[in-house]
DNA sequence: TTCATGTATTGAAGCGCTTCAGACAGTATC
DNA sequence: GATACTGTCTGAAGCGCTTCAATACATGAA
């Protein structure tokens, strides 16, 4: 089967020849049918169908059309959080007749710039970006490197950029306040991912809550940071905690780590929630179905992705009047039995 | 900040002007540096850097260069199985300097053709496709519609297409044989996703195993099919099972459904594995960490994605000598305590 | 000096498309 | 009958790039 290098070999001029009109007319029937008589339009449409003509989008974009592609750069493709957001982005894209290039920066700034460069070279319409690590303004530079409209996802920017984020500090505060209200006076924060912004902010939120309660973080808060973000990292964190005096409340930077903590604790005979109250973050599907249903901070993931994509479309519409906008979404604490002492299942929302 | 519609407004001719050479020379220093004297090369490189020139990939492709983009069409973006495969695809792509457009067909043939059409219009280098539903040859037509090189992912094709798949029939056989060996004489298969190919084949494998053991499927095998693939669908399936005489071994088409089955059963006071042995499919991360570690069929997901991507690169290299190749990978049964009676933790491989 | 032989560089054609200025009827207006 | 439209259609220019034939300039050999 002979194919030209770029897919279907039929070009607009083949269609024109077949329909007995000029290429301009074919182009018009595709893009401005109102300029073409019904008769020719039908002829052209027939020729298109017969030849299986699919306009070359690259050529189109080259002549100034807006690209139908947007980029999405996240820190981790397998993270349920990002994937739920990605699904929402995909949905928004689909509704706008677009398609998404999904990239994985692995939280590595170098890889991130490379990706932005590639997306720029593809002349995508724009990109959604969750910046890798803490870049201290280097971010801006990296974005400019890509020379494309960017909307930040899950990252709050100052005024001169578009962003949609979830308030991680507030989420962590919710979690720790909850533990404090339950009477725990010594709590731990288990974070992961070296320098991962989200976790840095959650640690901050934990500290804020402790302070707001009039407690001293140096005694009332144990902070543990692991390299990774998985169950195993939770296990390791719990190991650390077991070495000293165990706090009675543990807040983890994500649900996976909470599961790991749970696993290690129960292996050590520590009961959740009787001996230790456990709170996770993200409220992934599994949280509600865990051995002990996990109290967790739920993020409006779907909204996050959807809004960000919409903002990008607006931002990249070339509308001169576009003003950069920052949307900060609020997380919500879902209380389940992993934190409510004595087996009381104080479920606020059934997950 | 004035930007042209397609990103950086710097064109090759701007670079040429800046460096005081012709566009041809600039192009040469980028693509065939050996044709350019060291002196001019340096000058051009400097101009490129100073202007932040990024070649327009669309224009490049238009002149015959191979696209740096491949498409990946899966049934569900949030499925852990596909996402692990996607990550492997992404890795393979990255190694080849490519980037992946990730699409979600939602197991809908119409959406699938639409996506192939879009990918075709983008003139991507090729696509990896997990076909939606059972299309009975309609598949081929749909692929041709896209006019692009396609490698099937997680779907076994006949000789005239490239594919990388995992033997679902064999996987299911492993699972059911395991149950039969444990002495269970009446087992259930819980499948999901209306007409989802993978589950249809797993059902087949279950039947095969029953037959091979000399049992009668009409009495020894209970088949239940749910619409979805999630925990909740497992719960519903278990509900059905509880209505009649409960089989002593249950094999689920995926781990999520197994979790759901477990949940409903334990709510009904049925103990796993003491009363019922439970086996899942996919061996997702959580399987090993479930309340009762779940026996599951592990698929070589990473290999699946990586090999498929490589095959696509080979296939789309335009190499005339390319022969279509079908690779079928073998799954593996990971035995954990959800199936081994009396609390024996007959763990074959520590998950 | 004149050729041949390279090596460096250039300019233009062409990739597939859109769009814009014109051309060419066919009507309506004066 | 001349003029001005209006509705259709065409041809060519141009999007940013690559490539190929052609040119220009050295260099060494004859």
**Across residues B175-188, what is the average pLDDT?**
96
**Across residues A199-228, what is the average pLDDT?**
96
Helices (H), chain B: 12-19, 23-31, 38-51, 57-62, 80-95, 109-121, 138-146, 168-181, 197-212, 217-220, 231-243, 255-267, 301-315
Asked if the model's pLDDT at residue A277 lies above 80, the reply is yes
**B52, B101, B259: residue with CB nearest A100:** B101
Residue B78 contacts A, CB cutoff 8 Å: yes
Helical (H) or strand (E) element with A264: helix A255-267
pLDDT digit string (tens) for B18-65?
999 999 999 999 999 999 999 999 999 999 999 989 999 999 999 989
Task: List protein-proximal bases of chain C (any atom < 7 A from a CB).
Answer: 7-12, 14-21
Rounded, the Å distance between the CA of A24 and C1' of D11 is: 8
Judge if the beta carbon of B4 is closer than 7 A to nucleic acid strand D: yes
Rounded, the Å distance between the CA of A315 and C1' of D3 is: 49
What is the band of A140 on the pLDDT scale with cuts at 50, 70, 90?
low
Nearest chain B Cα distance for residue A123, angstroms:
6
**Across residues B186-209, what is the average pLDDT?**
93
Residue nearest to nucleotide C13 (CA to C1'): B63
What is the band of A350 on the pLDDT scale with cuts at 50, 70, 90?
very low
CB contact under 8 A, B7 and A77: no
**Across residues A287-304, what is the average pLDDT?**
92
CB contact under 8 A, A123 and B7: yes
- Of B159 and A90, the structure prediction assigns the larger pLDDT to A90
Nearest chain A Cα distance for residue B8, angstroms:
5
**Across residues B118-138, what is the average pLDDT?**
83
SS3 B126: strand
Q: What is the predicted pLDDT for the residue at B345?
A: 42
What is the band of B205 on the pLDDT scale with cuts at 50, 70, 90?
very high
Q: Chain B contacts of A104, Cβ < 8 Å? A: 87, 90
Q: Chain B contacts of A318, Cβ < 8 Å? A: 5
Residue B266 belongs to a domain: yes
DSSP for residue B76: -
Same domain, B43 and B91: no
* C-alpha A59: how far from chain center: 31
pLDDT digit string (tens) for B84-107?
899 999 999 999 999 999 999 988
Give the pairing of strands B277-282 and A126-129: unpaired
CB contact under 8 A, A80 and B78: yes
**Across residues B175-204, what is the average pLDDT?**
93
- Give me the numbers of helices (H) and strands (E) for chain B, helices first please: 13, 12
Helical (H) or strand (E) element with A221: strand A221-225
Residue B154 belongs to a domain: yes
CB contact under 8 A, B52 and A147: yes
Nearest chain A Cα distance for residue B12, angstroms:
13
Q: Are A76 and A82 in contact (CB under 8 A)?
A: yes
Rounded, the Å distance between the CA of A42 and C1' of D13 is: 28
Q: What is the predicted pLDDT for the residue at B346?
A: 39
Residue B97 belongs to a domain: yes
**Across residues A282-310, what is the average pLDDT?**
92
- What is the spatial distance between Cα B294 and Cα B301, in angstroms, rounded to a whole number? 18
Task: State the average pLDDT for chain B.
Answer: 88
Residue B137 belongs to a domain: yes
Which of A24, A41, A62 finishes a domain? A62
Nearest chain B Cα distance for residue A351, angstroms:
11
**Across residues A214-236, what is the average pLDDT?**
93
What is the band of A45 on the pLDDT scale with cuts at 50, 70, 90?
very high
What is the band of B148 on the pLDDT scale with cuts at 50, 70, 90?
confident
- What is the spatial distance between Cα A145 and Cα B319, in angstroms, rounded to a whole number? 35
pLDDT digit string (tens) for B307-335?
999 999 998 886 656 778 899 999 999 99
CB contact under 8 A, A56 and B121: yes
Q: What is the predicted pLDDT for the residue at B157?
A: 85
Q: Are B44 and B19 in contact (CB under 8 A)?
A: yes
Same domain, A93 and A198: no
Which of A284, A275, A290, A273 has the alpha carbon at shortest distance from A346? A273
Same domain, B190 and B338: yes
Q: What is the predicted pLDDT for the residue at A341?
A: 60
- What is the spatial distance between Cα A329 and Cα A165, in angstroms, rounded to a whole number? 6
What is the band of B110 on the pLDDT scale with cuts at 50, 70, 90?
confident
Helical (H) or strand (E) element with A18: helix A12-19
DSSP for residue A247: P
Helices (H), A122-254: 138-146, 168-181, 197-212, 217-220, 231-243
List all residues of chain B from 161 to 220 with a beta carbon under 8 Å from chain A: none
Same domain, B105 and B121: yes
Range of the domain at A36: 12-62
Asked if the model's pLDDT at residue B79 lies above 50, the reply is yes
Task: State the average pLDDT for chain A.
Answer: 88
Helical (H) or strand (E) element with B279: strand B277-282
- What is the spatial distance between Cα B193 and Cα B106, in angstroms, rounded to a whole number? 11
Q: Chain B contacts of A103, Cβ < 8 Å? A: 90, 99-100
Same domain, A338 and A209: yes
Q: Which two tokens stand for residue B98?
A: 């490519």
Q: What is the predicted pLDDT for the residue at A8?
A: 60
Same domain, B56 and B74: no
CATH code (residue A223): 3.40.50.2300
Which of A206, A294, A312, A222 has the alpha carbon at shortest distance from A258? A294
Rounded, the Å distance between the CA of A3 and C1' of C29 is: 57
CB contact under 8 A, B145 and A56: no
Judge if the beta carbon of B8 is closer than 7 A to nucleic acid strand D: no
Q: What is the predicted pLDDT for the residue at A142?
A: 65
Which of B306, B289, B298, B300 has the alpha carbon at shortest distance from B332? B298
Name beta bridge partners: A224: A190
Q: What is the predicted pLDDT for the residue at A343?
A: 42
Residue B107 belongs to a domain: yes
Nucleotide nearest to B28 (CA to C1'): D18
pLDDT digit string (tens) for A170-209?
999 999 999 999 999 999 999 987 778 899 999 999 999 9
Same domain, B247 and B337: yes
Q: Are A165 and A329 in contact (CB under 8 A)?
A: yes
Rounded, the Å distance between the CA of A327 and C1' of D10 is: 50
Asked if the model's pLDDT at residue A3 lies above 60, the reply is no
Strand D-contacting residues in A 63-92, CB cut-off 7 angstroms:
63-64
Which of A142, A137, A172, A132 has the alpha carbon at shortest distance from A157? A137
Q: What is the predicted pLDDT for the residue at A323?
A: 79
Asked if the model's pLDDT at residue B137 lies above 80, the reply is no
Q: To the nearest whole percent, how much of chain B has pLDDT over 70?
A: 90
Same domain, A246 and A133: no
Q: Chain B contacts of A123, Cβ < 8 Å? A: 6-7, 56-58
Asked if the model's pLDDT at residue B209 lies above 50, the reply is yes
CB contact under 8 A, A87 and B104: yes
Q: What is the predicted pLDDT for the residue at B7?
A: 46
Same domain, A253 and A104: no
Asked if the model's pLDDT at residue B3 lies above 60, the reply is no
Torsion, Cα A202 A206 A211 A214, to 10 degrees, reads: 160
DSSP for residue A68: S
Q: Are A309 and A153 in contact (CB under 8 A)?
A: no
List all residues of chain B from 144 to 163 with a beta carbon under 8 Å from chain A: 145-148
pLDDT digit string (tens) for A304-323?
999 999 999 998 886 656 77
Total of domains in chain B: 3
DSSP for residue B287: G
Residue A53 belongs to a domain: yes
Q: What is the predicted pLDDT for the residue at A348?
A: 41
- Of B7 and B229, the structure prediction assigns the larger pLDDT to B229
Give Rg (Cα) of chain B. 26
**Across residues A292-309, what is the average pLDDT?**
96
Q: What is the predicted pLDDT for the residue at B6?
A: 37
Residue B188 belongs to a domain: yes
CB contact under 8 A, A83 and B78: yes
Residue A5 belongs to a domain: no
- Strand C: list protein residues with Cβ under 7 Å: A 4, 6, 9, 11-13, 23-24, 26-28, 30-32, 53, 55-56, 59-60, 62-65; B 20-25, 28, 35-37, 39-40, 59, 62-64
Q: Which residue in A has a C-alpha nearest to residue B263's C-alpha?
A: A289
List all residues of chain A from 245 to 264 with a beta carbon under 8 Å from chain B: 259-260, 263
Asked if the model's pLDDT at residue A135 lies above 90, the reply is no
Same domain, B337 and B201: yes
Same domain, B139 and B189: no
pLDDT digit string (tens) for B257-309?
999 999 999 999 999 999 999 999 999 888 887 878 999 999 999 999 999 99
CATH code (residue A42): 1.10.260.40
pLDDT digit string (tens) for A71-124?
999 998 778 889 889 999 999 999 999 999 999 998 888 889 889 999 999 999
**B80, B231, B289: residue with CB nearest A259:** B289
Same domain, B309 and B288: no
């Amino acid at each position: 089967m002979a194919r030209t290098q770029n897919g279907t070999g039929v070009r607009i001029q083949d269609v024109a020849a077949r329909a007995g009109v000029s290429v301009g007319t074919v182009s018009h029937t595709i893009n401005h049918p109102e300029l073409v008589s019904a008769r020719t339009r039908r002829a052209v449409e027939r020729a298109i169908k017969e030849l299986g003509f699919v306009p070359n989008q690259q050529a189109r974009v080259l002549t100034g059309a807006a690209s139908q592609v947007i980029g999405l750069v996240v820190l981790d493709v397998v993270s349920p959080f990002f994937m739920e957001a990605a699904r929402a982005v995909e949905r928004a894209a689909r509704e706008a007749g677009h398609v998404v290039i999904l990239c994985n920066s692995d939280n590595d700034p170098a890889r991130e710039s490379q990706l932005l460069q590639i997306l720029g070279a593809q002349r995508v319409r724009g990109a959604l970006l969750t910046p890798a690590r803490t870049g201290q303004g280097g971010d801006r530079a990296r974005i400019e490197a890509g020379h494309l409209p960017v909307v930040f996802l899950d990252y709050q920017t100052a005024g001169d950029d578009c962003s949609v984020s979830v308030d991680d500090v507030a989420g962590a505060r919710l979690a720790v306040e909850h533990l404090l209200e339950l009477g725990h006076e010594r709590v731990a924060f288990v974070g992961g991912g070296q320098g991962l912004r989200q976790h840095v902010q959650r640690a901050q939120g934990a500290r804020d809550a402790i302070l707001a309660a009039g407690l001293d973080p140096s005694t009332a808060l144990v902070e543990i940071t692991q390299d990774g973000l998985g169950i195993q990292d939770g296990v390791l964190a719990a190991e650390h905690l077991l070495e000293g005096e165990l706090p009675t409340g543990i807040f983890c930077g994500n649900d996976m780590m909470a599961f790991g903590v749970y696993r290690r604790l129960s292996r050590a005979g520590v009961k959740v929630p009787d001996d230790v109250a456990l709170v996770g973050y993200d409220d992934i599907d599994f949280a509600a179905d865990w051995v002990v249903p996990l109290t967790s901070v739920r993020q409006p993931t779907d909204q996050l992705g959807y809004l960000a994509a919409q903002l990008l479309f607006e931002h990249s519409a070339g509308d001169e009047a576009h003003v950069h906008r920052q949307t900060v979404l609020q997380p919500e604490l879902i209380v389940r039995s992993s934190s409510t002492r004595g087996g009381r299942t104080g479920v606020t929302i059934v997950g």
